[in-house]
Chain A
Amino acid sequence: MCGEVMKLSGSEILIRTLIEQNVDVVFGYPGGQVINIYDTLYQHQDEIKHILTAHEQGAAHAADGYARSTGKVGVVIATSGPGATNLVTGIATAYLDSVPLVAITGNVSLPLIGRDSFQEVDITGITMPVTKHNYFVNKGEVLADTVREAFKLAMSGRPGPVLIDIPKDIQTSLYDYEPQPAVTADEKTAGDGDDISAAVELINNAKKPYIYCGGGVISGDASEEAVELAEKIDAVLGCSFMGLSAVSTDNPRFLGMQGMHGHYASSMAQHNADLIIAIGARFSDRATGNKAKYAPKAKIIHIDIDNAEIDKNISVDCGICGDVKLTLQKIIDSVDAKNNPEWIEKVSAFSAQEKEQLKLTSDMTPYNLIDVINKTVDADTVIATDVGQHQMWAAQYCKFSKPRKFVSSGGLGTMGFGLGAAIGAQIGSGKKSVLITGDGSFGMCLNELATAASYNVPVVIVIFNNGVLGMVRQWQTLFFDKHYSNTVLDRKTDFVKLAEAFGIKGYRCTEMAEFEKTMKSAFEDNGPVLIECFIDKDEMVLPMLPPGGSMDDIIVERLGD
C-alpha cells in the first residue's frame, strides 16, 4: 500500500487521509477557514460525499447518528469561530455516550493565533473536557499522522470524539504525504484471568443473578454473549438507557430498561438480586437511583473496557477491565450451568404486576402511538428520539431485535439531537429511520428539515405534541406543587405548514386510526414525512424512581389530583 511520497497541500493531505480511513460520507458546513478543505472536497466528490446541514450542531449530531447506527467513525467538518463553537453540544453529546467521532475544524493561520483574530476561538481549549483527546495541528508535517491517530483513538477502547483543529496556512502549504493503509482499533484483550476466576466464583454462588447491560454491550458487540451468559446461568437481563437494543425486547429474560424511568420488573429484580453483573455500563445515577441503596442484597461484578469506570461511581466486589465480548466468552466457558426456578418465578411475578399497572385505553396515548410505530417499522429501522417524556416512552415501549437501532442522547440529554441524528443514522445504515420527538425538542433544531428535504432522506418524524415541556412539567407536577413555570408552550407553530414550507410532506393526526394509516404510508414513502400527533399534556412517564430514592421507592401510578 505504501507508495511514493508526494508533495501535497495540507487540505489535500487531510482529505486523502480521510479516504485512507475509508470515510465515504462527511457532514459539515463551509466557511472562510475551511474553504481550502472544501475546495479539495470538491475535487474528491466522487470519493467522499459531503452532506451540507443547516447548522453545525445538526452536522455533529448527524455524524453522531451515523456512527451510532453503523459502529463506524462519524466525521464532521466546521469552520473556525462560530462554526467550531456550534459543534460543541454535538461533541459533548457524543462524548457522554462514548460515540466515535472525528471533528475537524479550520482555524486562523498560525501567525494570527492568540490575537483574537476574526473568527478565532481556542476550540481545542473549549473542547478539552468533552473530547477523548484533541489536537491543534501546528506543524503540517504531522497532519496525516495526526488524522490517523485521531481515528485510532476515536475507535479504540472506549470510543469517543476526537477533534483536530487545523490552521488555514497549514491547509494551504505543501508537505510530504505518503499513503498508508487504514488504521485499525487497538487489539482487544479479555480481562485479567484472576479477575475472571473471581467473577466465575461469584456467579457460581449466585441464585438470583441480574445482568445489567450498558451501552458497552452494543459498542463492544457483545449482545450474543450477554444473552448466552444469561441462558447458561439462568439470569434475567435489564439495561441502562444506553444499553437499549443490545438485547432483543422479545427475549423472555429481558426486563427492559432499568433506572429512573425503567421498568418496574427490572427495578424490583435489581433490588432483590443477589448478584449484579454490569457489562459496559457506568452506574449512572439515572440507571441506579440512590447509590447508597442500590441493589442492597447483591454482590456486584463490573466488566468494562475503561479501567477508570471500575469503582468510579460504585465500588464493586469484582471489577474486570477488558473487552466485554472476549471477557464474557471466557466467563461463559468457565461458569457452571444453572437453574434458578425460584428466582425466575419471582421476577415473572414482578413482570405480571407491571402488566397490570399499564392501563390501556384506545386514546391517543404515548403507548398507543408507539405501539403503532412498532407495528409499522421493521427490524432494521433506526428509532431516533429527542429528549423528554417522548424519549422515555420510546425507551420503555419501542421494540428492538437488533443492536444499534436506538439512537438517542442518554448521557447529555440533548434536546435537538434527534433530527440531525435520525438523518445521519439513515445515511449511515441505508435503512429507514423514525424520529420520535417532542414539540419542545423539535423546535430546537427543526432547521435540519432542510437537510432531510435537500437529500430526500427517508425519515419519518413523529411529533408527540403535548403543548408543553412535558418532562420538566412532570417534575413540577410531582415535586413543585404544580407551579408550571415556563413549561407551557402552546406555540402558534403549525408543524404541517412548517413541513410544507421546507418541502416535506406534513400530516396531523387526532385519532389513532388516522395515525395508523398515515404512519404506514409515511413509512413506505421514499422521502421525509412529518406527522404531528396530539397527546394529553398531563400524561406522565411512569414508573419513576423519585430522585434520591431506591429501586423500591418506585412510583408506578399517577398520583391522585
Chain B
Amino acid sequence: MDRHILSVFVRNQYGVLARISSMFRRRGFNIDTLTVGATEDPDYSRMTVTFEGDDAVKNQIIRQLGKMPDVVSISELHRGDSVSRELVLIKVRNDKDTRQDIMSVIDIFRAKVVDYGTEAMTIEITGESSKIDAFVDLVKEFGIIEICRTGIVALERGSGSIRNKQ
C-alpha cells in the first residue's frame, strides 16, 4: 500500500473541517494526518491529507472530496515533485547522565531546544516524516514525556498553484 498526500483547497466556510472529516469517517477512509490552515486568501483554507491505500481507495477519496461544495480543488502531491514537512515538539527527560547524548542527537538532526529545565527539555524538529520518525526513535531511550506532531504540510515544487487547478 502506498502513502498518498492530497492538498485540498477549500472554501473557508462554517463547519468545513467537520464536514470533510465527517466524510472520511463515514465512508471508512483511514486518514494518517489532516492539517488545515489559512492561505494567501482569507476566503480559502488549505487542507493536507495523508493516508495509505491502493489506487482504488485514493481515487474514491479524491472523487468523494471532489463532490463536496466546499472543495474548490484537489491536487495529489507526489514525492518527487513536492516538498513536505512536519513540525514536532518533543518533551524529553533531561538528566545529567544523558544530557550530552541528547544534545548530540539534536545537533545531528538540526533540531532545536525551545524550552529547557533541569528535569525536561522540549525539542522542536522540522522535516520530512521519515526524518522525524528516525529522530523520535533515537530520543525514545532518553524518555519521552509527551509529543505533539502537526501532521504533514506539503506544496508542489515549481511555480504552480493549486488555485489554477480544477
Contacts and interface: CB of A to CB of B under 8 A. Distances in A.
B90 to A, nearest CB: 35
A125 B56 CA distance: 29
Interface residues of B, number: 17
Contacts of B104: none
Nearest to B70: A133
Nearest to B67: A308
A136 B16 CA distance: 11
Contacts of B56: 311, 315
Contacts of A308: 60, 63-64, 66-67
Given A311-B59, A315-B56, A125 B67 contact: no
B75 to A, nearest CB: 16
Interface residues of A, number: 17
Contacts of B69: 132-133, 153
Contacts of A312: 60, 63
Contact of A138 (B14, B60, B67): B14
B55 to A, nearest CB: 10
B112 interface: no
Nearest to A129: B26
A315 B64 CA distance: 16
A311 B58 CA distance: 11
Contacts of B60: 308, 311-312
A124 interface: yes
B121 to A, nearest CB: 39
B19 interface: yes
A310 B14 contact: no
Interface string A102-138: 0000000000000000000000110011001101101
B22 interface: yes
A312 to B, nearest CB: 6
B18 A128 contact: yes
A25 to B, nearest CB: 26
Nearest to B60: A312
B117 interface: no
A510 interface: no
A307 B67 contact: yes
B160 interface: no
A310 B15 contact: no
Nearest to A152: B69
A310 B63 contact: yes
A153 B60 CA distance: 21
B67 A129 contact: no
14 contacts: A124-B15, A128-B15, A129-B22, A133-B68, A133-B69, A135-B14, A136-B14, A136-B15, A138-B14, A307-B63, A307-B67, A311-B60, A312-B60, A312-B63
